[in-house]
Amino acid sequence: MLIRAVYTLLLALAAPLLLFGLYNNKSNKPKFSKRWKEHFGVTPELKSDQKPIWIHAVSVGESIAAIPLIKALKEQAPNQPILVTTTTSTGAEQISKLGSLVEHRYMPIDFSFAVKSFLKVTKPRQMLVIETELWPNTLNEVNKFGIPIIIVNARLSKKSRDNYAKFRPIFNIIEPCLTQVLCQHKSDAEHFRSLGVPNSKLKVTGSIKFDIQISEQTLSLGKQLRQAIGERPVWIAASTHKGEDEIIIAAHKYLLSKNPNALLILVPRHPERFDAVFNLCINMNLSTIRRTQNIPPLESNVYLGDTMGEMLIFMAAADLCFMGGSLIGSKVGGHNIIEPIALGLPVLIGPSYYNFKEIVDEQIKLNNVSVISQNSLLENLDTFANNYKGNKVAPSSIKKGAIDSSVTQILLNI
């Protein structure tokens, strides 16, 4: 009890900074508008009287990962209502694409009063947490309401495990609240086990991000974009972070010295950085077209993907993919490579990919992924320019992931 009190006090002190980051108005970032109240537990009534399955997906990445799971659950139980919460407005934007399939609410901040208010209105039958978003007060209140808590697609890198170990009293509050932890890999289960989670709660199900289904519409839109680009070498730098864009742009200028016809599709990870990255390209004397300009990038050097939810379209129009969040030390730990792999793209990734280590290591063995440094990025682009023949490879087959009937039955029967 004392530990939770201290934690709540520290959270209260940090809350103004957290809220500033969340609500700070930035260009290209969706607005919360009047829905900010939901973060404090003031949540509208749900449309259905039936208890929903509550899925929490923090932001964009988790929301995209949750979508195939939501569709699979709906196939198994069409009448089961599903409530999805996100913390960010960009995550909410992804969930909105599901239309009437789900209801969306913003996640209450991790204060007991806010969580209690949310639970009294929504009355979920169970809580599914995508990946590893473990908030002590939230989990404690959900558990007190008698609601099962399942961590789906759970991942816990060694670095994250070590961080939790430093605050073991906090994790000791979290662990008893968990009903089941469905892990991506054996190593994730081992890390949870080392923190005291019993074997009876752990199950290795694989990554739901393997269960990507690329729609015919996406492939068609990618083909249309490629036709607008024309026959030229196209590489995409996906989900880049501050500090990486300069490296990528410098590498592209090198590629242009080898093949002036080459095009870079540059897609920053965070929408609030779109303008800054565009200005960076212009300042580096690169002809740059933004996606939102609705102009075909016929002769431009860079095509800036300044929209949300179109990454697969951009990838479908490219010949080579660099996956961001991997060249800037250990700050991010890389992003998911399954989407470009599923589209048949050879993938380059920097040395910091600990968030997706098992997936990347497996794809390295299959020669689908190359780990590169800043210097070897230039070498790979040189090879790309020399070997480009104008022929895109067919989409590859990837290992079946976690969303099958057994997993959906686990979730529906808890």
Q: Are 136 and 4 in contact (CB under 8 A)?
A: yes
Choosing from 38, 62, 93, 339, which is the catalytic residue? Answer: 62
Please tell me whether residues 222 and 191 are part of one structural domain: no
Q: Are 335 and 323 in contact (CB under 8 A)?
A: yes
What contacts 226, CB < 8 A, 6 or more positions away? 234, 316, 317, 392
* Annotation says 103 is catalytic: no
Assigned domain for 53 exists: yes
Assigned domain for 392 exists: no
Assigned domain for 125 exists: yes
Please tell me whether residues 292 and 232 are part of one structural domain: yes
Mean pLDDT across 400-414: 54
Please tell me whether residues 370 and 408 are part of one structural domain: no
Please tell me whether residues 122 and 171 are part of one structural domain: yes
CATH number at residue 408: 3.40.50.11720
CATH number at residue 339: 3.40.50.2000
Assigned domain for 16 exists: no
Measure the CA–CA gap between 393 and 334, rounded to whole angstroms. 24
Please tell me whether residues 28 and 57 are part of one structural domain: yes
Mean pLDDT across 265-292: 95
Tens digits of per-residue pLDDT, 203-228?
Answer: 998 877 666 678 889 999 999 999 99
Please tell me whether residues 220 and 192 are part of one structural domain: no
Assigned domain for 296 exists: yes
Mean pLDDT across 390-395: 49
Considering the chain, what is the average pLDDT of its residues? 87
Residue 297 identity (one-letter amino acid):
P
Q: Which of 270, 236, 234, 243 is nearest to 374 (CA)?
A: 243
Q: Is 36 exposed, middle or buried (0-12, 13-18, 19+ CB in 10 A)?
A: middle
Tens digits of per-residue pLDDT, 23-58?
Answer: 776 655 667 878 889 999 999 999 988 999 999 998
Please tell me whether residues 221 and 74 are part of one structural domain: no
Please tell me whether residues 368 and 407 are part of one structural domain: no
pTM: 0.66
Mapping DSSP to helix (H, G, I), strand (E, B) and coil, where does residue 398 land? coil
Q: What is the pLDDT of residue 394?
A: 41
Measure the CA–CA gap between 68 and 402, rounded to whole angstroms. 10
Per the structure, how many domains does the chain have? 2
Please tell me whether residues 270 and 336 are part of one structural domain: yes
Residue 356 identity (one-letter amino acid):
F
The domain in which residue 319 lies consists of 216-387
Give the helix, strand, coil percentages of the chain, each rounded to 5.
50, 15, 35
Q: 230 in the Ramachandran plot: left (φ > 0), alpha (ψ -120 to 50) or beta?
A: left
Tens digits of per-residue pLDDT, 149-161?
Answer: 999 989 898 888 9
Mean pLDDT across 395-414: 51
Tell me the pLDDT band of 61, cut-offs 50, 70 and 90.
confident
